[in-house]
Amino acid sequence: MPGSQYFQVIRVLRVLRVFRVLKLGAYIGEADVLIVALRNSRRKLSVFIVTVLVLAVVLGTAMYLVEGQTHGFASIPLSIYWTIVTITTVGYGDIAPETPLGQALASVISLIGYAIVAVPTGIVTVELARGTIGHRTCPGCQADAHDADAGYCKRCGTHL
């Protein structure tokens, strides 16, 4: 049958048998904690991604104005592409700034890229931590977010 060779890609799913052989099926349920954390932080991550995209447009436009068409930055969309590649620390090397001001701006963009990696990591980590902490409120001082196995309030010592 013509075109059926494309279905051979589905054979990759046989790798999932490893879970059964190595008895890793018990850990699949643990992935739910990660999925819930990602779902709970999707609004924060969405705002973060939009902010990074706006930053990429602004910095890409600035790089186009600094370097110009003569140095390989032929258009603003191409400069935005370069900025995104630089922020994500991929750096293909197909375009490189040549002027000293462009190189300084590229250095700042690279440093921003390193800082940006930490933000979504922190957002998801906070949500993961919230998933492992109970939501019981202390009757004495109204403090919440006690450990699931806590018998007494962290703040005032009242029995929970």
Q: Indicate which CATH number applies to the domain containing 89.
A: 1.10.287.70
In a domain, 141, yes or no: no
Model pTM greater than 0.75? no
Q: Which of 10-19, 21-30, 43-52, 151-160 has the highest mean pLDDT?
A: 43-52
Q: Could you give the CA distance from residue 134 to residue 145 in angstroms, rounded to a whole number? A: 5
The answer to whether position 39 is within a domain reads yes
pLDDT at 135 over 70: no
Q: Is residue 147 part of a domain?
A: no
Residue 9 lies in a domain: no
The answer for 147, left when phi > 0, alpha when psi is -120 to 50, beta otherwise, is beta
Number of domains in the chain: 1
